[in-house]
Amino acid sequence: MRKIKKGSTVKVLRGKYKGQIGKVLQVKISKIDTKNKVFVYLEGIGLLKKSVKPNPSLGVKGGFKEVHMPIHISNVMLYNAESNK
């Protein structure tokens, strides 16, 4: 049973954004392996600038686009703002 759902507030435990608090935007289940891995997309955390090539036929301008990178669910925990835990 997963406790982390869309809209819940979580704290990052490991990685570049350790200690930061964010709101869950999306929880995605990956079925690439035999194990189901769950990734969490956080608001304002894990942003990456990706370069985009222009495509005139689709009306896409070239430049940079910010993309949310997923964080594995084992690297975040639920956060309670009232008790700061």
pLDDT at residue 32, as a whole number: 66
Kindly give, in sequence order, each residue whose CB lies less than 8 Å from that of residue 57, ignoring residues fewer than 6 positions away. Answer: none
- The rounded mean pLDDT for the chain is 82
pLDDT at residue 33, as a whole number: 58
Give the total number of structural domains in the chain: 1
Judge whether 3 lies within some domain: no
Judge whether 63 lies within some domain: yes
Kindly give, in sequence order, each residue whose CB lies less than 8 Å from that of residue 28, ignoring residues fewer than 6 positions away. Answer: 38, 39, 41, 70
Judge whether 27 lies within some domain: yes
The lowest-confidence range among 11-15, 44-48, 64-68, 75-79 is 44-48
Q: How far apart are CA 9 and CA 55, in angstroms?
A: 38
Judge whether 1 lies within some domain: no
Judge whether 72 lies within some domain: yes
Domain range for 19 is: 9-78
Residues 36-54: pLDDT tens digits?
555 777 777 888 899 999 9
